[in-house]
Structure 1
C-alpha cells in the first residue's frame, strides 16, 4: 500500500528590513517631536512667582535663583534653585515648586528680625537672628516690638551672639525688651544691660539669657519695677519712687 508523504510548508521569511525601517521612522518621529517641543514656548519658563520676602527684594531673589522668563523649564532643577536662593544672608529657607507649563514658584522664609540699631549714617538697620544686618529704613513696624541696640561696636563679636540668643526668645517676651547695651566684666565678657518697657533694668549675660528668660518674665509679671541681676545668682531690688524720679530722661524713655 502506497503512503503519501505530507507536503512540508516552507517557513515564512520575516521581513526584518521592514521592521527596522519602521523602528527608525518611529525614532525619527520622536526626535522630531522632542526638537519641536524644546524649541516651542511651552517648554520655556513663562512666569516666576516669588513670595514670603520682607527684607529681600524680588530682584535679589531672582538674581540668586539665576533663572529668567524664557529659560528652559527643565534646564534647572527645583533643588538647585533652592540652594541658590538660600545663599542670600537674610534667607533661612526656600521652597521651589514647578507647575507645567512654564510656572516657577519660589516661597522664601527669612530669618526673624530681633532688634534694630542706627548706623553711623543715621539709617535704621535691622538685625536678624543669624547675625545679619540689613537696611530697614522703610520698615516702621519694626520699631513697635523690637529692642534697640545702643553702644555696640560695629565689629563686636558678642553682638552676633546676642541676635542669635534673641531669636530663641518668644515674641511676647522679646516685645517687652526696649534697649540693650553692652556691659562687659572680667567674669562675663558678654554681660549686658537690658531696659524693658515695663520699667525694669536687667543685668545678665548673653550666654545665659535663654536660660534666664522664663525667670525674668516671672519677676516682671509679679513684682514692681526694679533692678534684676541674672548671672550666677539671681537678685531683685525694687526701685523706690525717688530712684525713679532720679532716672535720666533717656533711661525713662528706653523703659517706656
Structure 2
C-alpha cells in the first residue's frame, strides 16, 4: 500500500469562448487546488481568462498554463503535426499571455500542463515533447511540468532539470499500458461520481487503477485531474474531495500555493 496522505486535485477551466459557455468554473474553483487554465489556443477568450485567473487568485487556487494546439474548432483534441520550432513558439506565447493576466491579479502561472491531443502526443512524440520542455525552460525553469507517468514529456523535463508532476485522471479509462483510452472508444470517460471517487482513493492510497481489460496498472500520483467539461464535473469533483477527506487524504496544491 502506498498510504499517501496528500494529493493535488486539478481541473481544466477557462475554456468558455464568447457566448459559448463550457463548464461551471466558479463551482469547480471552490473544490480543486490547482486550475489548468486554457490559454486561448484550444479554448478560452481573453475576458474568460481574466475572469478565471481573478477567481483562482481570490480562492487561493494555483494557476497552471494549459497549453495546447491552435485548434479552437477541434477543442485541441486533434493532433497537429507541427514543426518543433513552431510548437516551441506557440507554447512560449501561451505561457507569456496567461502569466501576464495572472500577475495582474496578484498571482502567477505556477506550473504547465499540455492539453488534449498535445498531452497525448507528448506521451510518445519525442520531438514535440522536447519542444514543450524547451519552451517551459526558456520561460521559467522553475515551473513544474504536469504529465502522464512514464511519458517522454516527463523524461525530457527531468533531463532538463525541471520538476515533474505525475498526473492521474479521475474520470478517464486506462489501457493496460497505463495510457488513456481514446475518447473515440466507448467507455473512455467515466460519469458515475461514486465509481470515480472510489477509483481516485485507490489511485492515491494504493497506487493502482483497474484498466479496461480488468488488469491492474500501477500508478504513482502527485495530482489527480477532474475534467471540467465533463457532464456532472462539479458533482464528480465534490464526491472525490469528500471521499479523499474520509480516507484521511489531504487535498492541497503540489506547488505549495
Query: Normalised by the shorter chain, which TM-score bucket?
Result: under 0.3
In proportion to residue count, which structure has more strand?
1
Q: Which has the larger radius of gyration?
A: 1
TM value normalised by structure 2: 0.23
Q: Which has the higher contact order (CA 8 A, sep 6+)?
A: 2
